[in-house]
Amino acid sequence: MKRFQCGNCGQIIEVPQGVPKPPNCPRCRAPATMIHRLNKGPPGGRRGRGGGPPWQRSSP
Ligand SMILES: [Zn+2]
């Protein structure tokens, strides 16, 4: 799922992968120039490589 947000009314628009950004906001009809892509997932994701937190790591 890709998420967009309308900069005019704040509407969150979700579209499946492979589907282009809607040409208008479904709620307020704002043009696509008002619709912005949202980052997927929380900021700073993709940190660490499995395992627990660093303070729980036991070094051999
Ligand atoms: Zn809108």
CA 45–ligand 1 middle distance (angstroms) = 28
For residue 8, the domain's CATH number is 2.20.28.10
CA 52–ligand 1 middle distance (angstroms) = 41
CB 3 within 8 A of CB 14: yes
Any domain includes 34? yes
Count of structural domains, the chain: 1
Dihedral of alpha carbons 21, 17, 7, 36, sign: negative
**Can you give the pLDDT at residue 3?**
93
Any domain includes 54? no
CA 12–ligand 1 middle distance (angstroms) = 8
**Can you give the pLDDT at residue 23?**
94
**Can you give the pLDDT at residue 45?**
56
CA 42–ligand 1 middle distance (angstroms) = 23
CB 30 within 8 A of CB 11: no
The whole domain housing 4 covers 1-41
What does the pLDDT profile of the chain (60 residues) look like in tens digits? 899 999 999 999 999 999 888 899 999 999 999 999 997 666 665 666 666 666 777 767
CB 2 within 8 A of CB 36: no
Any domain includes 1? yes
CB 5 within 8 A of CB 12: yes
Any domain includes 48? no
pTM: 0.63
